[in-house]
Amino acid sequence: MVTPTTTRGTRFTPEQIGFLAAGPGRATEAALARLLDAGLLRVSRDNRVSAVHQSRQGATTAVEARLLNQTRTPVSLKSAVKITSSGTEVRALHQQLLDDGLMQRPRPRNAAWWFLLAMAVVLVAVSFQSPWALVGAASFLLMGIWLRGRKPVTRAGRAALRSATASDRVFAVALYGFTGKVGTQEVGDLFDLPKDVARSIPLKQKKKRRSSARGGASCGAAVASYSSCGSTGCGSSHSHSCGSSGHSCGGGGSSCGGGGGCGGGGGD
């Protein structure tokens, strides 16, 4: 028995949600989680992962097929995730998210933007003596607005994230990663993964923390809907189990779980 691969409240796949939440690595983690959940991958205490079947039997997505192909002989979990994350299949997933308007090419605030801002401030100061300078200030501000940085996840993407809940352990990974937490429960525990194994999965810690701090809205939404995810998923009651393996899906926590990465950031 496996946990459901779709979840109530979202029409998006765990890989899509994972990518929106924290980028290609998280999308790969979501694929890995689905394969572990289905018993198609096996991990060992020495952080190696191997496909249970020699064929790519059981893969439901291109990313999953890539992971299974890569693990026909045991390889380190770290390299499996890293290589798959940079593979064509995950790039295609990204492109699909771009095409669907859930993501956009990020545009960081560069030196030119800061220069425009500084010029606008200077001209505003000058305008106290020469009011015509306000016109220049407004021009620089307009250019600054046009060139302002933008996040990789669009408004639609953020809405998609808010629609996703940790209603099963695969979506828990997509939203928070194997080392994240759902309430007070570590997501890796939902898969009975030893701590060292979960920690061997490569993470972009800086990016994760930043996305946690910025992603309050989606995090709140995820936890709120998580706590009411119904009778067959991980219920708000502590006694409900999550899928076949009887893992409770957390304690109905009301916090975002320290450093779990609550989405909204990420990007490439």
Place of tokens 């408004």: 155
Of the candidates 238, 258, 265, the one whose C-alpha atom is nearest the C-alpha of residue 187 is 258
Q: How far is the CB of 34 from other proteins (least distance, A)?
A: 15
Residues 6+ apart with CB under 8 A from 88: none
* CB atoms near residue 224 (< 10 Å): 12
Interface segment toward other proteins; rule CB under 8 A; list 18-26, 52-60, 155-163, 164-172: 52-60
Distance, in Å, from the CA atom of 39 to the CA atom of 17, rounded to the nearest integer, reads 22
| Interaction mask 122-161, other proteins, x per CB under 8 A | ----------------------------------------
Distance, in Å, from the CA atom of 174 to the CA atom of 256, rounded to the nearest integer, reads 14
Q: How far is the CB of 56 from other proteins (least distance, A)?
A: 15
Interface segment toward other proteins; rule CB under 8 A; list 42-50, 175-183, 230-238, 260-268: 42-50
| Interaction mask 164-193, other proteins, x per CB under 8 A | ----------------------------x-
Is 208 within 8 Å of 59 (Cβ atoms)?
Answer: no
**Residue whose CB is less far from other proteins, 196 or 268:** 196
Of the candidates 218, 128, 117, 204, the one whose C-alpha atom is nearest the C-alpha of residue 164 is 218
Interface segment toward other proteins; rule CB under 8 A; list 45-53, 95-103, 134-142, 162-170: 45-53
| Interaction mask 71-90, other proteins, x per CB under 8 A | ---x----------------
4, 6, 8, 42: residue in contact with other proteins (rule CB under 8 A): 42
* CB atoms near residue 105 (< 10 Å): 9
Between the CA of residue 4 and those of 242, 257, 265, what are the distances in Å?
A: 10, 23, 26
Token readout for 29 is: 């983690």
Give the binding site for other proteins (CB under 8 A): 39-40, 42-46, 48, 50, 52-54, 74, 192, 194
